Amino acid sequence: MDWRLSPEETIALLLSIRVSLLATAVALPLAVLVALALARGRFAGRGLLAVLVYLPLVLPPVVTGYLLLRTFGTRGPVGALLQEVGIVLAFRWTGAALAAGVMAFPLMVRPIQLSIEAVPRHLEESAASLGARPLLVLLTVTLPLALPGLVAGAVMGFARAMGEFGATITFVSAIPGETMTLPSAIHGFLQVPGGEAAALRLVLLAIAVSAGALVLADVAGRRVARRVAGL
């Protein structure tokens, strides 16, 4: 079997990495804010927020993709406004990043939320009693102690974004060189005669990337945990 990637396969791999990096970079700050609200917030609608955050985990990905298309498509309420300023997400690689970010978001929020909940409240209260403002307490106490969860959330989000298929193909289709990510390319190769070898190469590549991300998350998490324990 020839293990060399064709130009089309290489483009799909690089596009998947590009999409996943953008999805993770954009979703991570929002995931931290939402996790903080769920872990420390006491407000009306907290339960509804949790439902909305974790809903993509239980909805069929095609449903999520359809909702994205209805919302961010050129005829959708948000998409139409964005189009007026020259931003189009539907059938663009940036739209693939949006779909991947939405599907990965719950897996990013959960470990961050658990890490924040594990931070002893008395440490935050002590910092506040010494005159630290809430933002300073967050930046110097809460987030550093919750760093293992942030690392795990970021890596898990990236891995999930790399594997996203259903919502992505519904929202942005599978346009070669534009929106055909690794999962879309695998699906495409399986639909044509003689494409099994290319599909197998990409499947093994996807397994390697996902396994590498998990190993990286474990190693980084252990190092960060040791550093935090030494504070």
Please check whether residue 184 is in contact with residue 168, taking contact to mean a CB–CB distance below 8 angstroms. yes
Continuous H helices in the chain: 7-40, 46-58, 61-72, 77-84, 93-118, 121-129, 134-137, 143-145, 147-162, 166-172, 182-190, 196-229
3-state secondary structure of 86: coil
DSSP at 72: H
pLDDT tens digits along 25-42: 999 999 999 999 999 888
- This prediction's pTM: 0.88
The CATH class given to the 12-229 domain equals mainly alpha
| pLDDT mean over 50-63 | 93
The pLDDT of residue 170 is 93
pLDDT tens digits along 186-225: 999 998 888 888 899 999 988 888 888 788 777 777 776 6
Q: What percent of the chain has pLDDT over 90?
A: 51
In this structure, of 31-35, 49-53, 126-130, 162-166, the range with the lowest mean pLDDT score is: 126-130
3-state secondary structure 134-160: HHHHHHHHHHHHCHHHHHHHHHHHHHH
Average pLDDT of the chain, as a whole number:
89
More confident residue, 159 or 227: 159
Taking the alpha carbons at both ends of the chain, their separation in whole angstroms is 52
The pLDDT of residue 2 is 65
Q: How far apart are CA 70 and CA 73, in angstroms?
A: 6
